[in-house]
Amino acid sequence: MLTEQTVERLRTLRLGAIADAYLAQQRDTSLASLSFDERLGMLVDAEQLTRDNRALTRRLKEAKLRLSHACLEDLDYSGRRKLDRAVIR
């Protein structure tokens, strides 16, 4: 019962990622050997990562990029484009 109340309070505080990570920690018995500080750190990391990803997704959507899925790794360095890899790096 305490777990359900804790999860509800976390969600009320808009800490959904921590709530999800907390439930995952409860199911994973291998995490029992970790200290409280380590487990708390993992929960905070999960929340931060979720917020960062959400913010990045929002910014990309607001940018209205023509090629929203473009990335440097997919650049075409063929001879006709005359791109210098060293300059791009």
Quote the pTM value: 0.74
Which two three-digit tokens encode residue 12?
A: 């009320």
CB neighbourhood size of 15 (10 A):
20
Q: What contacts 44, CB < 8 A, 6 or more positions away?
A: 18
- The pLDDT tens digits of the residues spanning 27-44 come to 999 998 999 999 999 999
CB neighbourhood size of 56 (10 A):
10
Q: What pLDDT sits at residue 77?
A: 84
Among residues 25, 26, 22, the alpha carbon closest in space to that of 11 is found at 22
Q: What pLDDT sits at residue 89?
A: 80
Return the domain boundaries, the chain: 2-88
Listed as ranges, residues in the chain with pLDDT below 70 are: 1
3-state SS of the chain: helix, strand, coil percent to 5?
75, 0, 25
